Amino acid sequence: MQTYSTTEIVDAIVIGTGAGGAPLLARLARAGLKVVALEAGKHWNPITDFATDEKEQEKLFWTDERLSAGNDPLPFGSNNSGTGVGGSTLHYTAYTPRAQPDDFQLRTDFGVGEDWPLGFDQIEPYYNEIEQFLGISGPSPYPWGPARKQKYALGPLPVNGAGQLMERGCKELGIKTSPAANAALSAGYYQEGVGHRPACANRGFCQAGCNIGAKASMDVTYIPLAVHFGAEIRSESFVTQLIKDSSGKISEVVYIQNGEEKRQRCRYVFLCAGTVETARLLLLNGLGNSSGQVGRNVMAHPGLQIWGEFDEDVRPYKGIPGAIISEDTHRPANADFAGGYLLQSIGVMPLTYMTQMARGRGLWGEELKQAARAYNHVAGINILGDCLPYAHNYLELSDEKDIRGLPKPRIYFTNGENEKRMTAHANKIMRDIWAAAGAKNVWAFPRNAHVIGTCRMGVNPDTAVVNPDGQSFDIPNLYISDNSTFPSALSVNPALTIMALALRTADRFLEQHK
Amino acid sequence: MNYHYPAGTVRALLETDQVTKPTRQALTERLKASSDQPVFFSTEEFSLLQAVCDRLIPQNNQSERIDITGGIDKRLTENKSDGWRYDVMPADGDAYKLGLKGIDESAQLLFQQPFQNISAEQQDFILKAVQTRQAPGDTWQELAADRFFEELLAEAVSTYYSHPLAQEDIGYVGMADVPTWQRIGLNQLEDREPKSIGQGE
């Protein structure tokens, strides 16, 4: 790996190596820029470091404590966070549906929420490129959204028991289903600059880290590509300060590595630390917030799960967890809410299921143990739906200090009327599907997933933090590339769109700095 | 349905090459971990916590007990977090100490005895009251009883079911993934996946 000295002025520092940082890093490196990525977490070796054990794999979560406030406090840690080279892609489920064109214009269509300052046509070429590069497995044709210009790189992954049950229930009700697009390989795959990655082993452990590189986390895709083109990855480097020079530009980034404070000089900074840490870093440094919008507009997808027990052996630990999708509910007829959602079958690892059962059903004693013994017969179905931005949902710095001595972020979240109505709609449909599939002991686990927002992108410096290219309105050499800039939450899982936006930000930057 | 799985499945798989080295290491360490004296909790608090956990997750097999409270004590001693906390709750360690005090206080108020001296039915009554925010006592004015109960239960459950013996009890063998899983559809089992024995309503 190419390395740079801290006294050298590098072209760009990329803070964070997840879905927002890694693709951009590779793009800048390919263009010949001297780039250094600062990543708070470790650079894992999945083969030797990753156990097929949820407890052991808790090391992939961001565990600096966050304070969850509001009527629907958001869980973090195992939900919505990640640490290590690859960021939260280390433990994302690999579910990579595209947003649809109307997702980008909620306000135009419904009069609520926000339009994006750029449309589907600007994102689509990047969807194509990423799907091919990562080796996304999915059906062709894909039944929803505009006709695709290119087939998925690979055919869909095999369908597990939960997926079969969702197909069965939906068929009964006349709801169309399809194998989902997943960023895990249904066959071995080779990419220049990355090398060979093997096919998925169907071990169902995506959310606790893939140990063979079949899942397209950033550490086995865009990071090796970035290194191939000369980027340096500096892991276990926690950024604390962005230093401005007299011209108002950021000239230096301060970080802690091995307990030692270090500084790296640079020409440009790309902040890709995710919704919570990106906003926290700006607030801590009092930067980029002339709009007063940093930390505002926190959104989190309604993600209600419906679980049931079936007579059949399901063994929910096998196969890609989100095998089957339906987007028939993308814009449901006669809905009493704006936007829509997708439906997804879900397998589940045992600890995740048991702790959700503890929190969601409140079961304990012999009742809990009996319900736990039905684990091999459970399957789930869940939604992923749009979430509107509200003034009452925001992030602030608290007075409490974390283990690094920095103020803990406090995140307020309360579902609005729109999310409640959408969730009620989905609750009925999913219970109907599970009833039609033969489920018993059905129960609901209310949740919100994927924290989004805090550094909104827009065209007006008074109401947005960055412009449509991801550039700060206040500090010209500061860019943001992650889910914090999403003006609306979209009705799909965010990872693919974060990557697409990252490549677009990199390309726009390179065009302007030829 | 009531399902029951044979004992010994996970332990047998750990001896084979169907489990990766890091997986074997993590599970074997957990299997062989000894129960230590508490560091974070006082002896009294620790024994009360054990009594509470015994009701939350009853363990009938005394020779193969899974140490739940030791795991909680270790985490709090190391000041580790799961990454978030309900804003209405105090720091995890303080919440545990306060909540345990509240449980004893409620037992005194309702049954005029400490929690550990009352019957299992009375203990369950107290715990149910805590879970549903109906337990009496000044402590519960300071601490959200339902959130305390939820956090305690989630940690106890997570500690318990991460143990290989508890995983045998639910018929989970997902850790044996080296041969990959090819039979993944409904009612499709690999040879290494145990079938439920003696099931019935």
* Domain boundaries, given as residue ranges, for chain B: 9-169
Contact B188 A357 (CB under 8 A): no
Write out residues 221-240 of A within 8 Å (CB-CB) of B.
none
Considering only CB atoms, B172 lies closest to which of A66, A161, A350, namely: A350
Residue A228 confidence (pLDDT): 98
Q: Nearest Cβ partner of B174 from A50, A64, A317? A: A317
For residues B190 and B181, the answer to whether their CB atoms sit within 8 Å is: yes
Residue A437, C-beta contacts closer than 8 angstroms, at least 6 positions apart = A165, A166, A168, A169, A172, A308, A310
Number of alpha helices (DSSP H) and beta strands (DSSP E) in chain B: 9, 1
Q: Cβ A73–B158 below 8 Å, yes or no?
A: no
Rounded to a whole number of angstroms, the distance from the CA of A249 to the nearest CA of chain B is 33
Q: B201 falls in which pLDDT band (50, 70, 90)?
A: very low
Phi and psi at residue A299, in whole multiples of 5°? -130, 155
Q: How far apart are CA A180 and CA A347, in angstroms?
A: 13
Percent of chain A predicted with pLDDT > 90: 98
Comparing CB atoms, the residue among B23, B85, B170 nearest residue A67 is: B85
From the candidates A355, A377, A395, which should be mutated to test the interface with B, based on the most B CB atoms within 10 A? A355
- Report whether A376 contacts A234 (CB < 8 A): no
Task: State whether residue A142 sits within 8 Å of chain B by CB.
Answer: no
Q: DSSP of A133-145, one letter per residue? A: HHT-B--SS-SSS
Q: Do B56 and A364 touch (CB under 8 A)?
A: yes
Pick the closest to residue A379 from A90, A167, A91, A180 (CA basis).
Answer: A167
Which pLDDT tens digit goes with each residue over B79-131?
999 999 999 999 999 999 999 999 999 999 999 999 999 999 999 999 999 99
Q: Do β-strands A395-401 and A407-412 pair in parallel, antiparallel, or remain unpaired?
A: antiparallel
Test the B interface: residue of A54, A313, A370, A377 with most B CBs within 10 Å: A313
Contact B124 A319 (CB under 8 A): no
Q: Residues of A with CB below 8 A from B58's CB?
A: 365-366, 369
Residues of A in contact with B79 (CB under 8 A): 403
Interface touch A359/B150, C-beta < 8 Å: yes
Touching B: A residues 412-451, CB under 8 Å: 440
8 A C-beta contact, residue B23 and residue A53: yes
The beta-carbon neighbor of A369 closest among B26, B57, B187 is B57
Backbone angles phi, psi at A210, to 5 degrees: -85, 130
A63 touches chain B (CB under 8 A): yes
Q: Looking at residue B199, what is its pLDDT? A: 56
pLDDT band at B62, cuts 50/70/90? confident
Nearest neighbour of A52 by CB, restricted to B23, B156, B182: B23
DSSP per-residue string spanning A64-82? S-EEEESSSPPP-TTSS--
Residue of A71, A364, A441 to mutate, interface with B, max B Cβ within 10 Å: A364
Q: Does B162 touch chain A (CB under 8 A)?
A: yes
| A36: nearest Cα among A79, A77, A6, A81 | A6
Q: Tell me which residue has tokens 């012999």.
A: A366
Is the distance from CB of A83 to CB of A123 less than 8 angstroms?
no
Q: How far is B196 from chain A (nearest CA, A)?
A: 9
Residues A267 and A248: their CA atoms lie apart, in Å, by 12
Question: What separation in angstroms does the CA of A128 have from each of A171, A230, A311, A450?
Answer: 30, 25, 41, 23
Topology given in CATH for the domain delimited by A9-50+69-512: FAD/NAD(P)-binding domain (3.50.50)
Write out chain A residues lying below 8 Å of B21, CB-based: 48
Chain pair A-B, CB pairs under 8 angstroms: 192
For residues A123 and A234, give the distance between their C-alpha atoms in angstroms, rounded to a whole number. 30
Report angle CA A178, A300, A65 to the nearest 5 degrees: 125
Record the tokens describing residue B28, joined without a space: 């074997």
> Would the CB atoms of A364 and B127 count as touching at under 8 Å?
yes
- A162 and B CB contact within 8 Å: no
Query: Which of B9, B72, B87 to probe the A interface (max A CBs under 10 A)?
Result: B87
Coil, helix or strand at residue A88: helix
Find, among A382, A450, A344, A357, the residue nearest to A92 by Cα.
A450
pLDDT given at position B2: 87
Question: Which residues between 181 and 200 in chain B have a beta carbon less than 8 angstroms from any beta carbon of chain A?
Answer: 181-182, 184-189, 193, 196
The residue among A54, A65, A66, A207 with the most chain B CBs within 10 A of its CB, best to mutate, is A65
Q: CA of A200, closest CA in chain B: separation in Å?
A: 8
Q: Where are the beta strands (DSSP E) in A247-394?
A: 250-257, 260-271, 296-302, 305-309, 324-326, 341-346, 378-385
Q: How many CB atoms lie within 10 A of CB B179?
A: 13
Beta strands (DSSP E) in A207-283 are 232-234, 237-244, 250-257, 260-271
Say how far apart CA A158 and CA A206 lie, in whole Å: 15
Q: Cβ B181–A318 below 8 Å, yes or no? A: yes
pLDDT tens digits for A78-136? 887 889 999 999 999 999 999 999 999 999 999 999 999 999 999 999 999 999 999 99
Taking the C-alpha atoms of residue B10 and residue A203, their distance in angstroms, rounded to an integer, is 16
In angstroms, rounded to a whole number, what is the distance separating the alpha carbons of residues A137 and A189?
11
* pLDDT in the model for residue A261: 97
B23 shares contact with chain A (CB less than 8 Å): yes
pLDDT given at position A322? 97
- Specify the pLDDT at position B12: 98
For position B49, what pLDDT does the model report?
Answer: 98
pLDDT digits (tens, 9 = 90+) for A20-67: 999 999 999 999 999 999 999 999 999 999 999 999 999 999 999 999
A332, A430 in Cβ contact below 8 A?
no
Q: Do A318 and B30 touch (CB under 8 A)?
A: no
What tokens were used for B155?
């940690």
Other Cβ atoms less than 10 A from the Cβ of A359: the count is 18
- SS3 of chain A: helix, strand, coil, percent, to 5: 30, 25, 45
Q: Which residue among A73, A311, A350 sits closest to B167, beta carbon to beta carbon?
A: A350
ipTM of the complex: 0.97
Q: Residue A213: its pLDDT value, please? A: 97
Q: Where are the domains of chain A?
A: 9-50+69-512
Q: Which amino acid is at A220?
A: V
- Nearest-angstrom CA–CA distance, A509 and A49: 36
| Rg of chain B, C-alpha, whole Å | 20
Task: State yes or no: pLDDT of B188 exceeds 60.
Answer: yes
Confidence (pLDDT) at B1: 72
**Which stretches of chain A drop beneath a pLDDT of 70?**
none
* Chain B residues whose beta carbon lies within 8 Å of the beta carbon of residue A82: none
